[in-house]
Amino acid sequence: MRRAELEKLREVNFELFALDPEEEFIERFKDGVSLPTDSDLAEMFVKLNQKYFDGKLPDARIEWSTRMVHAGKCEDKQRLIRLGVAYHKHYPDDIIDTLKHEMIHLIHPNHGKGFKSEAQRIGASRYSRMYPGMLKAMKYLYECPECGEQYPSRKMLRNRSCGKCSPGRYNSKYKLKFVRRLR
């Protein structure tokens, strides 16, 4: 189709060719050089709340944190969502995913069944990715004896089992084994 024909179609049916607000947001900030402002995040919060929760989530303050090394944190009682600058400079396309993840925490504070079903319904990840800057903050490395999945941790773990081999419940058969100290 020629460019002129495409332009005419866009004029007639603009909605068919418009980017989804989430895709548009990701496109604007995918370079990782500039991150969205707090007001950009607040605007996206309103759009995501309307799209996935029919506008029923309580209002929340969203801000960046330069101290966090992980993706995000929700303080549900204070209605505050913090996003980690270091993580999102590394993975700028994860901003929307992290925001959706933290929005779910406004109604489901932990990663229980309710959280998991909401995350699946709206397409939000349960876990963030690792990046080199994050490992500096981790002190210990654990590994599943069954599948070999590795779990960096900031603290010593006692009774934790592999999330892949025993999802949702502790199982001593898959108890994580200490591998080494990271720092």
Q: Is the pLDDT of residue 18 over 60?
A: no
pLDDT, greater one: 37 or 137: 37
Sort strands 140-143 and 150-153 into parallel, antiparallel or unpaired: antiparallel
Asked whether the beta carbons of 182 and 135 are under 8 A apart, the reply is yes
Where do the domains of the chain lie? 3-122, 138-181
Q: Which of 3-17, 24-38, 74-88, 116-130 has the lowest mean pLDDT?
A: 3-17
**pLDDT recorded at residue 12:** 59
What pLDDT does residue 128 have?
Answer: 84
For residue 16, is pLDDT > 60? no
pLDDT computed for residue 52 by the predictor: 94
Residue 103, both tokens: 């929005």
Which of 142, 137, 161 has its CA nearest to residue 152? 142
Tell me how far apart the alpha carbons of residues 95 and 87 are, in angstroms, rounded to a whole number.
Answer: 9
The predicted pLDDT at position 167 comes to 79
Band (pLDDT 50/70/90 cuts) for residue 30 is: confident
- Which residues, other chains included, contact 36 with Cβ-Cβ below 8 Å and sequence gap of 6+? 25, 28, 29, 44, 95
Residue-wise pLDDT tens digits, 124-159: 988 888 777 776 678 899 999 999 989 988 889 988
Nearest to 42 by CA among 24, 63, 65, 25: 63
174 vs 114: CA distance, rounded Å: 24
Fold of 3-122: Zincin-like (3.30.2010)
Contact 106, 56 (CB under 8 A): no
70-111 pLDDT per residue, tens: 899 999 889 999 999 999 988 888 999 999 999 999 999 888
| pLDDT of 15 above 60 | no
| Residues 70/101, Cβ–Cβ less than 8 Å | no
Weakest-pLDDT range from 25-39, 51-65, 72-86: 25-39
Mean pLDDT of 50-73: 93
Q: Which long-range contacts (CB under 8 A, 24 or more apart) does 1-10 make?
A: none
Main-chain dihedrals φ then ψ at residue 29, nearest 5 degrees: -120, 15
- Residue 33 pLDDT > 80: no
pLDDT band at 173 (very low <50, low <70, confident <90, very high): very high
Q: What is the mean pLDDT of the chain?
A: 86
